[in-house]
């Protein structure tokens, strides 16, 4: 009986051995058959083996139900099974990562009514921005995107390239480039890196801090409200035209941060991009030759154009509709960029406001550059070195908080760095157009205000006063101030100086005129008209005449609506009563300032990125705009935005709201231009002003000097230095207004 039981157990064990293969067969045989020689079989051992067999069969059933490898399988077979499961796991991970990347890469291209743009995947990084609303319009803001970085001072910047998939916050404005010394109110001591600096441009003002690594841009994108596209219908979102805006400031001060592009983008349905570029000695220090080419600020602007062209697809921009615009010095900069070898046909249109590439203050000749270089060297205690390389190295090693470009105001020398008409960037620029002009087919919208010189005209007067910080009415002789200005600016036309006094009605000013505010302000305004022609209008019309020789793609305007900006003289009230139209007048309307306060109980819910410092009766500044703009002014601002944005989109400054056809000018003798005024805009015949025609006259003998200049050093009054006075006027006036606004 015992044997039969033992025989049964042996049979079960053998069958299990057949099922499991030859794992442990020898041990089993030795154990079982080793006991057959004994007369007695250990019943406890047999019971334990039965329990072990039952456990193994149970594990096999569980393994099969879970489709896991059998733990009793051979080693090679088990490895193959685990390899198969590992490959399946990797495949699932790949699918997950693939869809995650698709979401990240293409989320920034979603422009529908329900999903706002959150991420911008650009060549420089992946950015998350801000979503704001203007009425029922949604605008995505990407602020403070670094587009370039300088490895070494006075070298060209290199583009920022994305290094990883880290998401970068783009929700606040970046630092601005260091301005000219003394033009940043709010700084204390030598440390100019405090976040208390106020930069103003017209009525626009922003507070931030300067930094040497200052190459940042801002993008304003209107979110399309069309239905989401479908593959079957082919209804994809239309790419939007792009405005690349260059700020003014004579290349010495300013920042793109003062231009809030939210409203212009929302109403115009265009993408607006503002940015910083290096200023003064950091951006325009030059030797006039290959030792130090200069024009680094222009090279920075070319980097922005590259960034736009490379990333337009990511933010819905149309690379075939890029407009570069600018105001004051930003206008000639825009033209220089379009004319440079870096354009390569990428710029379709130009928007030039209150500045032209021919303005005497917009550039300097190569042989003037070294004078400016030496001035900067001496002002920064690097004049002790002998060679050019040693002086340049000294400037490169100077601490950022200490190095600066200083003002040197006089009638004969301002000693500012500026764009130099030499080197690779400016190699194609000419003041005499040729038949094969590369910009003949580029659309240009350009114009000026009625009184461009009314702000900068204050500088020659300040030069005559003992304390430039306090403007007084005493002992101001406008006749003498004008003659000194003309001696410096028009030294080869001394025969016209006396006639100019008569033309502008500043030849017979009463000796006690300064005692009367009315008399003083009237004389000042007449004198400022002469400044307007000499510094702006003469070169503006000269450019138009050259342009019209070979192109019929030009639209002109004249802006005649008063500004809200204050004037830093006792004539503030007088000039506003006379509907002052100054250098910055149109900006508050083309950038939509009145629309921020469209109604007393506005539901627009838009918080501006900047401050607005405007004129108010009996006060220096006024921040309460609620009742400052009339309904007519608000509609006028909408009209200008419509005309500007339609030009950017189509090349034609149309406006259904104004119902006026604005034709391009094809001939200066029969050409038409748009005269822009509130409720009175109209198309007029272009007529070159008589005062501009007057300055086309020449003296019979260019060497003849007037008697009043015989006692002066005539060598100082040459055409090579006339630009310096203008440049000084621009900088000092803008610095003065910044200080006024900050105070």
pLDDT per position as a tens digit, 118-131? 799 999 999 999 99
pLDDT band at 471 (very low <50, low <70, confident <90, very high): low
DSSP assignments along 297-342, one per residue: HHHHHHHHHHHHHHHTTTTTEEEEEEEEEEETTHHHHHHHHHHSTT
Tokens of 203: 């009525």
Rounded to whole angstroms, how far apart are CA atoms 107 and 119? Answer: 6
Highest mean pLDDT among 82-86, 112-116, 134-138: 134-138
Residue 112's pLDDT is 33
Residue 474's pLDDT is 64
| Choice among 328, 362, 522, 705 that is catalytic | 328
pLDDT by residue (tens digit) across 673-716? 999 999 889 999 999 999 999 999 999 865 544 444 333 333 33
Give the CATH number of domain 108-367+420-743: 3.40.50.1820
Is 328 assigned a catalytic role?
yes
Rounded to whole angstroms, how far apart are CA atoms 300 and 287? Answer: 19
Rounded to whole angstroms, how far apart are CA atoms 222 and 123? Answer: 21
Residue with tokens 């109604």: 599
Q: How far is CA 588 from the centre of its chain?
A: 17
Q: Among residues 591, 321, 293, 606, which one has the least CA distance to residue 419? A: 293
Mean pLDDT along residues 165-192 = 77
CB 351 within 8 A of CB 243: yes
Q: Among residues 460, 413, 428, which one has the least CA distance to residue 340? A: 428
CA atoms within 13 A on the CB side of 691: 21
Highest mean pLDDT among 2-16, 405-419, 525-539, 651-665: 525-539
pLDDT band at 94 (very low <50, low <70, confident <90, very high): confident
Rounded to whole angstroms, how far apart are CA atoms 332 and 334? Answer: 5
Residue with tokens 């190295």: 393
Rounded to whole angstroms, how far apart are CA atoms 404 and 388? Answer: 19
Q: What is the dihedral of CA 459, 465, 466, 469, to 10 degrees?
A: -50
Rounded to whole angstroms, how far apart are CA atoms 554 and 671? Answer: 10
In the chain, where does the domain assigned CATH 3.40.50.1820 lie? 108-367+420-743
Rounded to whole angstroms, how far apart are CA atoms 533 and 539? Answer: 8
Q: Among residues 425, 287, 448, 305, which one has the least CA distance to residue 369? A: 287
Within a 10 A sphere around the Cβ of 543, how many other Cβ atoms? 22
What lies within 8 Å, CB to CB, of 93 at 6+ separation is none
Higher pLDDT, 735 or 158: 158
* SS3 per-residue string spanning 559-591: ECCCCCCCCCCCCHHHHHHCCCCCCCCCHHHHC
H or E stretch covering 391: helix 388-397
Residue 578's pLDDT is 79
Higher pLDDT, 176 or 436: 176
Percent of the chain beyond pLDDT 70?
71
pLDDT of residue 29 exceeding 50, the answer is no
CB 147 within 8 A of CB 217: yes
Tokens of 548: 């019209």
Q: Distances from the Cα of 29 to the Cαs of 34, 38, 71, 200, 442, in angstroms?
A: 7, 15, 22, 99, 98
Q: Among residues 454, 114, 150, which one has the least CA distance to residue 276? A: 150
- The reported pTM is 0.78
Average pLDDT across the chain, whole number: 79
CB 146 within 8 A of CB 124: yes
């Amino acid at each position: 009986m015992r044997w039969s039981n033992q025989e049964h157990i042996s049979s079960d064990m053998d069958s299990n051995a057949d099922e499991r293969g030859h794992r442990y067969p020898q041990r089993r045989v030795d154990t079982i058959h080793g006991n057959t020689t004994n007369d007695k079989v250990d019943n406890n051992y047999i019971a334990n083996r039965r329990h072990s067999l039952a456990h193994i069969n149970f594990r096999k059933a569980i393994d099969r139900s879970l489709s896991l490898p059998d733990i009793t399988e051979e080693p090679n077979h088990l490895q193959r099974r685990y390899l198969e499961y590992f490959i399946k796991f990797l495949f699932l991970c790949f699918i997950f990562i693939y869809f995650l990347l698709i979401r990240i890469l293409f989320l920034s291209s979603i422009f529908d009514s329900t999903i706002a743009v959150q991420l911008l995947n650009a060549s420089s990084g992946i950015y998350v921005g801000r979503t704001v609303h203007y009425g029922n319009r949604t605008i995505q803001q990407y602020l403070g995107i670094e587009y370039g970085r300088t490895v070494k001072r006075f070298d060209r910047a290199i583009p920022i390239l994305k290094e990883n998939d880290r998401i970068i916050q783009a929700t606040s404005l970046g630092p601005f480039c260091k301005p000219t010394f003394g033009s940043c109110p709010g700084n204390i001591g030598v440390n100019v890196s405090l976040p208390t600096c106020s930069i103003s441009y017209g009525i626009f003002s922003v507070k931030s801090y300067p930094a040497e690594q200052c190459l940042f841009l801002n993008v304003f994108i209107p979110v399309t409200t069309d239905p989401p596209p479908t593959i079957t219908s082919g209804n994809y979102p239309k790419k939007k035209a792009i405005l690349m805006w260059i700020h003014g400031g004579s290349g010495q001060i300013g920042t793109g941060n003062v231009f809030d592009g939210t409203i212009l983008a929302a109403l115009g349905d265009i993408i607006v991009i503002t940015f910083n570029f290096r200023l003064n000695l950091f951006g325009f220090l030059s030797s006039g030759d290959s030792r130090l080419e200069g024009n680094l600020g222009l090279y920075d602007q070319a980097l922005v154009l590259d960034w736009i062209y490379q990333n337009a697809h990511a933010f819905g921009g149309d690379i075939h509709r890029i407009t570069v615009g600018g105001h004051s010095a930003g206008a000639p900069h825009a033209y220089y960029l379009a004319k440079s070898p870096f354009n390569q046909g990428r710029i379709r249109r130009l928007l030039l406001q209150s500045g032209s590439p021919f303005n005497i203050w917009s550039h300097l000749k190569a042989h003037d550059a070294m004078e400016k270089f030496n001035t900067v060297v001496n002002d920064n205690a690097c004049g002790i070195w002998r060679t050019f390389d040693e002086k340049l190295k000294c400037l490169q090693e100077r601490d950022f908080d200490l190095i600066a470009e200083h003002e040197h105001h006089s009638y004969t020398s301002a000693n500012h760095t500026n764009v130099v008409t030499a080197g690779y960037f400016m190699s194609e620029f000419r003041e005499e157009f040729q038949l094969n002009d590369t910009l003949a087919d580029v659309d240009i919208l350009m114009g000026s205000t009625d009184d461009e010189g009314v702000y900068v005209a204050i500088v020659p007067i300040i030069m005559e006063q003992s304390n430039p910080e306090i403007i007084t009415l005493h002992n101001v002789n406008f006749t003498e101030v004008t003659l000194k200005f003309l001696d410096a600016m028009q030294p080869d036309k001394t025969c016209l100086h006396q006639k100019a006094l008569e033309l502008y009605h500043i030849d017979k000013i009463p000796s006690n005129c300064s005692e009367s505010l009315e008399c003083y302000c009237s004389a000042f305004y007449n004198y400022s008209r002469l400044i307007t022609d000499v510094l702006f209008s003469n070169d503006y019309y000269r450019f138009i005449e050259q342009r019209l020789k070979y192109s019929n793609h030009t639209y002109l305007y004249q802006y005649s609506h008063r500004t809200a900006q204050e004037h830093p003289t006792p004539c503030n009230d007088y000039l506003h009563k006379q509907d002052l139209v100054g250098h910055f007048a149109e900006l508050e309307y083309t950038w939509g300032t009145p629309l921020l306060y469209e109604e007393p109980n506005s539901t627009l819910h838009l918080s501006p990125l900047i401050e607005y410092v405007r004129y108010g009766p009996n006060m220096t500044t006024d921040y309460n705009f609620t009742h400052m703009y009339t309904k007519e002014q608000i509609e006028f601002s909408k009209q200008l935005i419509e005309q500007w944005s339609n030009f950017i989109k189509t090349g034609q400054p149309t406006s259904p709201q104004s119902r006026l056809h604005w034709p391009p000018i094809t001939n200066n003798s029969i050409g038409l231009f748009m005269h822009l005024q509130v409720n009175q805009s109209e198309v007029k015949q272009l007529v070159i002003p008589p005062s501009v025609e007057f300055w086309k006259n020449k003296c019979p003998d260019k060497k003849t000097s007037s008697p009043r200049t015989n006692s002066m050093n005539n060598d100082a009054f040459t055409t090579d230095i006339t630009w310096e006075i203008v440049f000084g006027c621009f900088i000092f006036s803008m610095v003065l207004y910044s200080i006024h606004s900050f105070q």
